[in-house]
Structure 1
Amino acid sequence: MVPIIKKSDEKALSELMESIPSSGRTKELGVLQSELRRAKIVADNKISEKVIQLGSSFEIIDIASGRRLQFTLTFPKNANLAEQKLSILSPLGVALIGFQEGKVIEWNLPAGTRKFKIEKVSQSESILSL
């Protein structure tokens, strides 16, 4: 499966990655760069509201445990798990951006390979700045 990324998110993510000094570069940053290279980039008005984008709220199910998780995908400076705000530079954030409701994603996370089903996606907030 190829992630679908809207043009404004691609631009914002590219700017975010360029702003991180080499001393702050993580594995997830490299994976996000790879995902952006293989992604299908579409005009902002051509992306489905059912695709996880920056600012999307979504519910996923961990297939192995059946556990439901709800998050809003955001920039690192706004991330706060207590508020269910997930950083785009987290392993799960990188795994989910660009995929749509109903899809099952398998991804290598720090705790091992996991499968998640994207149950619901909604566009809840606009994120314009790093």
Structure 2
Amino acid sequence: MSDNIIVTTGIYDAIKDHLRRKKVSQNEENRLAGELRKAKQVLRRDLPSDVVTVDRKVTIKDHTQDFEHEYVFVSTTKAKPKKNKYSILSDIALATVGYKVGDVIEWPFKEGERKIEILKVETFKE
């Protein structure tokens, strides 16, 4: 698993703002704050293509609930869950943002701890 998440400065700032507004559970806030302290910030063009970020299609295996699902992470203004487009600040996106293909993450979701694995990350174009 990656030691540090890799995020763009824009995503870093958006997550910090999201935390300030208390939009996540206390466990998620603690985890995200810790991740951000160690995060490597890069320019969008320097972000590796296998890292979860905005405008990427991500396939995730949930080992806890035993299912695979594909998510498209978009900006908050373009989120349409019925069309499988989730805000980069949604719970599942916050759990995986900055991680890369092959990483397995134990995350304190609101409904409890879950173990998820990133199987695939692809660029998403509308």
Partner Cα distance (2:32, 2:117) in 1: 23
**Count of paired positions:** 120
Gaps of 5+ in 2: none
TM alignment of 1:65-84, pairs within 5 A = 65-84=65-84
Query: Equivalent pairs: percent with the same residue?
Result: 24
Where does residue 24 of structure 2 map in the other structure?
A: 27
Q: In 2, are the aligned partners of 1:64 and 1:115 still within 8 Å (CA)?
A: yes
The alignment yields a C-alpha RMSD, in angstroms, of 2.7
Cα-to-partner distance string for 1:33-88 (whole Å, 9 max, x where unaligned): 72433311123333210101111111001112321111111222222221111112
CA shift for structure 1 position 125: 3.2
Contact in 1 for aligned 2:15/2:89 (Cα 8 Å) = no
Question: Which runs of structure 1 show a deviation greater than 3 angstroms over 4 or more consecutive aligned residues?
Answer: 15-18, 28-33
Tell me, yes or no, if the aligned pair for 1:60 and 1:68 is still in contact at 8 Å: yes
Q: Secondary structure at the match of 1:58?
A: strand
**SS of alignment partner, residue 27 of structure 1:** coil
Gaps (5+ residues) in structure 1? Answer: none
Does structure 1 residue 14 correspond to structure 2 residue 16?
no
Give the aligned partner of residue 61 of structure 1: 61
Question: Given the two structures, how large is their TM-score scaled by the length of structure 2?
Answer: 0.78
Query: Structure 1 length as normaliser, TM-score?
Result: 0.76
